Amino acid sequence: MTATIEAKQTQKLALPQGFKRYGLQGTLNLIFRPLPSLEGYRDRYGDIYYSPTFAGFPPFIVISNAEGVEALFTADPELFDTASSNTSFIPLLGNQSILQLDGEPHKKRRKLLMPSFHGQRLQSYGEIITNITQSVINGWQKDNVFSMRKASQEITLSVILQAVFGISKGDQYQSLKEQLGNYLDLFNSPIYTTTLFLSFLQKNWGRWSPWGNFIYQRNKVYELLSQEIDKRGTGTEGEDILSLLLSAIDEEGEHLSKNEVMSELMTMLFAGHETTASSLAWAFYWLHFHPEIYHNLKDELDTINVDSDPMEIAKLPYLSAVVSETLRIYPIALFTFSRTLKTSWEFMGYSLEKGISLAPCIYLLHHHPDIYPNSKQFKPERFLDRQFSPYEYIPFGGSNRRCLGYALALYEMKLVLATVLKQVDLKLVNSQPILPVRRGFTTSPQGGVKMQVSNFK
Ligand code: HEM
C-alpha cells in the first residue's frame, strides 16, 4: 500500500498512536543523549520513521536500513537539495562553502577540491603525517597523563594546515593552530553545543555571553585566515587547497570572492581535522580496552618498519579492519546530511511530496542486527570476514555528497596508529568503558580518552 507523506506533515511514517512532536525534553535528549534516544525511536518506530523536528533541523525521514539507504544513494542527486538542510552549519563555517552548494556549482567545487585528497597528492602527505606524529610523540613523557583526543587533534590540525593548506612555518601557523583550537574547544561545553542547535539562543550579548564569545572567537579565526589570503593573493600557483581556491576562475572569468574562499577554508579546516581527531582517539581507546585486539595488531605491525612506505602501511589488513570497526561502532557523524526533495518521489512504498527531507542515520545503520550481529561488540574481524556494501557501511555518507576527505582520513588514521604503536607502549588511565558525547555537530569520546606512556621502545 502506498502512503502519501506531505511536506508539512508531522507524523511518523508508520503513524503510531499517540505520536507527538518532540518537546524540549526530546530535543535535549537528542543533543545530550543522542545514542539512547535514537535507539529508543528505532525500537518504537522501526527502520524508517519520520522525525518531526530536531531543534534547528527541519523535520526529516530517518533511514536506518540498507534498503532505504540504497534507494536514497542510487537515486538521481538532482532530485534533492542539500544546501537548504545545511543552514545550521552557517554560523560555524560561513555561508558560501561546498555545504551550501547544490547542482552544477556543487559538482564544480568538488572537482576543484577533489585532487587535493586523492592520488599523488594524497600519497605525498604520508611523510608529513608521520613527521608530525613523531613530533607529538617526542613531547610525551613516561607516566604523564594526557588526553588522546587532544594529542590526536594536535596531529590532525597540523596535517590539514601543513599538507592541505600549505601553511607550515612561522607565527601565522602557530596563531592559527592556537586560535582554531580555542574556537573548536568551545564545543566541549554543553552550553555552546546547545546554542548551535537551538537558534533562539544565538544572541550576541557581548563577549561574556556564550554566543557573543562564540562570534568573538570565530572572528579571530576569520582575521587570521583573511591575512593568509591577502598574503597569497590571486596569482598564487601552489598545489595546496588555498592556492587552488585563490586561482580558480569561473565561466565569467571571475575569481571566487574572499567570502567564498574563507567559508571553504573554514569547512576544510573543520571537517578535515575534528572528525579524524575524534576517530583516532576512539581507535586508541578500543585497542587498549581490548588487549587481544591490540596484540593482533602489534603482530601485524611487527612485519613492517617505522620507515616503511606509507602506502604499504595503509594496505595492512588488520590495521584497516581496526580503523573500519572504529568508524562503525561510534560514527563521529550520527547522520549524513539531509536531502530535501525538489519534487515528489516514490521511496520504499511511500509517495513523498516536494519539501520532505531524508537522512540516513549512520549510527542506527551501523548497529542494524541483520548486518552487524552483536553490534555493540568491537570486532575488527567483521571486516576481514566479509565486505560490506556502500549501503550497509557509511561512515563517510554516500552518493554525490560522499565525504571529500575520506581517503585522507583513512590514510591519516592508519599512519598515526602505526607510527605511535611501533614506538610507544600506552595504557588507559581508567579501565571503565568510555561512551560518546556530543561535541558540536559531531560526537567524541567522553573525557577525551586519558592515557599514559608506559614505555618508549
Ligand atoms: C574520520 C573522519 C571523517 C568522517 C567520519 C567524515 C564524515 C563525513 C560525512 C558523514 C559527510 C556527509 C556525507 C553525506 O551526506 O553523504 C562528510 C562530508 C564532507 N566531508 Fe568528511 N568526514 C571525515 C573527514 C574529512 C576530511 C579529512 C575532510 C577533508 C577536508 C572532509 C571533508 C568533507 C567535506 C568537504 C564534506 C562535504 C561534501 C559535499 O558536500 O559534497 N571530511 N564527511
**How many Å lie between the centroid of ligand 1 and the Cα of residue 337?**
10
Over the Cα atoms of the chain, what is R_g? 22
User: Of 138, 157, 190, 152, which is closest to residue 448 (Cα–Cα)?
Assistant: 152
pLDDT by position in tens, the chain (length 457): 345 554 444 334 543 344 445 556 667 777 778 899 899 888 888 899 887 665 556 678 899 999 999 999 999 999 999 988 787 788 878 788 899 999 999 998 898 888 888 888 888 899 999 999 999 999 999 999 999 999 999 999 999 888 878 887 777 788 888 888 888 777 767 776 777 777 777 787 877 888 888 888 888 888 888 888 888 776 666 778 888 788 877 667 777 888 888 888 888 888 888 899 999 999 999 999 999 999 999 999 999 987 889 999 999 999 999 999 999 999 999 999 999 999 999 998 888 888 888 999 999 999 999 999 999 999 999 999 999 999 999 999 999 999 999 999 999 999 999 999 999 999 999 999 999 988 878 899 999 999 999 988 8
Q: How far is the CA of 403 from the centre of ligand 1 (A)?
A: 3
Task: Map grid coordinates 554566543 to a residue.
Answer: 211
In the Cβ-directed half-sphere of 418, how many Cα atoms lie within 13 Å?
33
Q: Which atom of ligand 1 is nearest to the CA of 98?
A: 40
Cell digits of residue 169: 612555518
Q: Whose CA is nearest to atom 42 of ligand 1?
A: 405
Ligand 1 atom 11: the closest Cα is on which residue? Answer: 403
Question: Residue 177, exposed/middle/buried by CB under 10 A (0-12, 13-18, 19+)?
Answer: middle
CA angle 261, 83, 221 (to 5 degrees): 35
Mutate to test the pocket of ligand 1, among 161, 403, 410 (most ligand atoms within 8 A of CB): 403
Helices (H), 198-257: 210-232, 241-247
Q: From atom 31 of ligand 1, which residue's Cα is the shortest distance away?
A: 405
List pocket residues of ligand 1, CB cut-off 6 Å: 98-99, 110, 267-268, 271-272, 275-276, 279, 332-333, 336-337, 395-398, 401-405, 408-409
> In 3D, which of 363, 289, 280, 271 has the Cα closest to residue 326?
280
Dihedral sign from CA coordinates of 164, 130, 445, 42: positive
- Ligand 1 midpoint to CA 38 (Å): 22
Q: How far is the CA of 144 from the centre of ligand 1 (A)?
A: 33
Burial class (CB in 10 A: 0-12, 13-18, 19+), 391: buried
- CA 406 / ligand 1 centre spacing (Å): 7
Q: Do 96 and 259 touch, CB atoms closer than 8 A?
A: yes
Least Cα distance to 156 among 334, 408, 422 occurs for: 408
Residue with the smallest CA separation from ligand 1 atom 16 is 397
Cα 15 to Cα 9, 18, 79, 183, 420, distances in angstroms: 11, 9, 25, 42, 51
pTM of the model: 0.91
Q: What is the CA 145 to chain-centroid distance, rounded?
A: 27
Contact indicator for 283, 322 with CB cutoff of 8 Å: yes
